[in-house]
Amino acid sequence: MTSYITNTATGQTQMGSQPKPGERLLQSAGYTHLYQIGSAADLPSLGSSPTVGTISDYLFTKTGKTGTTDEDVSDLIDTKDPTKLAYLGVQQLLAGRIPDNIEMIGNLLSSLGKPIDDRKMLLEDVVGWLATTGRSRHHGPNSFVNGVQGQFINLLWGDLSHPPTVTLAPEHRYRSADGSYNNLTGFPMLGAAKQPYARSVKPLHAHAPDVAEPEDFFDAILRRKPGPHGFKAHPAGISSLLFAFANLIIHDLFWTNNQPDPDSPMDNKPNDDHAKQDQTQKKPAANDPPKKRGRSKQWQNLTSSYLSLDPLYGVDQTEQDRVRDYSEGNLGRGLLYPDTFASSRLLLMPSASCALLVLFCRNHNRVAKKVLELNEQKRWNPNPSEIRTTEERKKQDDEVFGTARLVNCNYFVQMILHDYLQSILGSVQADSDWSLDPRTQIKTLLGSTPKAVGNSVSIEFNILYRWHSCLSMRQTQWLEEKMSKGLPSRKWDDLNEGAFMRAMESLMKELNAGAGTDPRNWKLSKYEVTPATVGGAETVEQGTYERDPATGKFRDEDIARILRDATYDVAGAFGAQHTPAVLRWIDCQGMRTARDVWRACTLNEFREYLGLKAFESFKEWNSDETIANAMEDLVGHPSNIPLHAGLHGEESKAPRLGAGLCPGYTISRAILSDAVALVRGDRFYTDSATADALTDWGLNDCQPDPRDGSYGGMLQRLIINNLPNQYACNDVALLFPFMVPKTIYQILTDISPQKALKYSLNLQPYAPIGFKTVQVSPDRKLICKISGEASSIYEPFFSNSY
């Protein structure tokens, strides 16, 4: 290697063939070139060592070249600042100052990616080096020392938030009803309800003049073939309950305002309260001509952009007040009305999503009662009736409610990070409790990753989360049954807005959830399928699940039945030609909005935004020749593939470790980025997630336990805490509810047959009367399953035996 050396005696630069002190270390690491920049006058003299001389600031590059020319310089120079503090040790190696600074160099290099041990006096050593090296020897600035000093200042600056992301203002301690003030750094309305959608990708690709209509895309690319043979079960055995949970996330983040703009010259009527948009307004009949409408307000998102359980708590104070228990005996306790939730939108879907909301409602009340009972900071009165004024009781009610909501939402996000992402990534296959946790502090010598900055969901992800292909056979049958109330012919190509609205109004009436109804009186839809027995036929029981008139609650057995049925019900696969025909009108409306209102980017533009390779051929997008040819006929060139049909018609991943959800390749990449942004950007999951806000008990209550048999899952804890005695504690349907029991049991068997023996598996869903736990000794429990005919006893594993 050729190296450049400046002789301090002559001031001339010469080339030497032997590596200088420290160069051998770099060469052994694969660095084959050193390139000199700057001036020798900027660097300290090494004293009486003319053979080594003064070494300038070096940039390093791993290349295969053996010399440099002017043309090579741009290839060799790193665009990053060469004087990062982390490189100080390497500079010292090159400068031959190893004996003087060997301890500082060792401490610098060993501190990379770790907290700095201040007992090693690293900061003092760096300050001493700067003071010694920066000693004035000439009149000009010392660019080398100034560069290192700049990085040292960056390190100190990065220790603190600028501006601070959290304040002690009481009004910012809890989540606001509409999601505002999540960001406290100058954008209080960022991500709040009724704010505009964001746009992630700048669309630059010209729209092709003869692109097909949405109905053409649906029929050629997305439509599921009729009958059982058209259904493809999820290849990784994902259960329908995972998509019921995904429904909570999607409806927590997205609610497009489909009402006309009140300022439109075509319609100057005042806009109705958005709480009445739960599919309850009168629409024209199927054969009525469409009414003139004003410009759409579909640019507006009516819910917040945060994972804050808005379907449970509401999107504003008006919705929230409908479910909060302000009754005389409970004001001051921060409770919700039993088994209620604010949004009726989820009633229009299979009932597993609503059953999960019921559990979250119960969990809120459980937490509220506990934090008030413990009263850790002694600022509340556990007996609110003793509080003198209604105003003071209301203040305590708000504080207890806000605390319980913070804990409950932390349950929600823990389920997303553990149960949900665990299934999406298939990490159980590795016998691992690892989870992707975006909340962690990320700080290195090169800077820190921002957090608690807020969030605003975008139109691109609104389009991405339309996972209609994953409806199971049973869910599709339920949906067709409900839609037939608006279109008795069941000719789904004829479904339009009028027929859709009639069907939804019929369902809402059946569930006692029409406009202006009290959430305390809403029912849940029943669709119980009993598998066929030998010599018998499958039976279906339809109707509604009723509330207990005395308590206002649903029966535990009914909620457990809904959840268990969804766990045993295998979901549909992602991909082309798998969206049920009954959803044709809904999907086409979504495609038309993306094209005409949002002017969304193309699939390739979205992929490039994510750092993915753009598709150059249709077979690269989907290797199925039939699908690829159909898309080519519709758009002509891969760059014209629209985002909606492109995302949901793309070839899906095969199941493997790291790919448990098996969506299309682009969706697979995007949902991880979205999960990180949603969680890391929310200050209530990062900087404000403190024991002061959640209480010591609350913060501990929502932490996962990797020893509980579910690899740190939290949904099983939500179920156990709020549906006592409905599951055996080692039932795979409880511990891994997002996987079909037979599939997850096989995965556990593949990991270790001995491990699988610790779990119980029932091949068919069943509805026992309940379970009873018997503590027979301090370290031994028996779980008794109670049925109508006999009792069987199970001895479960223990939490420390995994």
CB distance 510 to 542 below 8 Å: no
How many other CB atoms are there within 10 angstroms of residue 284's CB atom? Answer: 14
Residues in the chain: 802
Q: What are the catalytic residues?
A: 465
Segments of the chain with pLDDT less than 70 = 1-114, 116, 133-144, 263-295, 444-447, 532-536, 763-802
Start-to-end C-alpha separation, the chain: 56
Runs of H (alpha helix) within 294-451: 310-313, 317-323, 352-374, 390-415, 421-425
> Which of helix, strand or coil describes residue 22?
coil
Residue 110 tokens read as 């060993």
Instruction: Check residue 312 and give its pLDDT.
Output: 98
Asked if 172 and 160 touch (Cβ cutoff 8 Å), the reply is no
Cα–Cα distance, 105 to 432 (Å, whole number): 37
List the structure tokens of 144: 């080398």
> Are the C-beta atoms of residues 424 and 660 closer than 8 Å to each other?
yes
Contact by Cβ (8 Å): 197, 462: yes
**pLDDT at residue number 615:** 97
Give the per-residue pLDDT at 231.
Answer: 96
What pLDDT score was predicted for residue 488?
Answer: 96
Tokens encoding 476: 């599709």
Q: Strands (DSSP E) along 510-594, which ranges?
A: 524-530, 539-545
Q: How many CB atoms lie within 10 A of CB 323?
A: 21
What is the pLDDT at residue 210? 78
CA dihedral angle for residue 555, residue 559, residue 560, residue 564, rounded to 10 degrees = 150
**Residue 332 CB-half CA count within 13 A:** 19
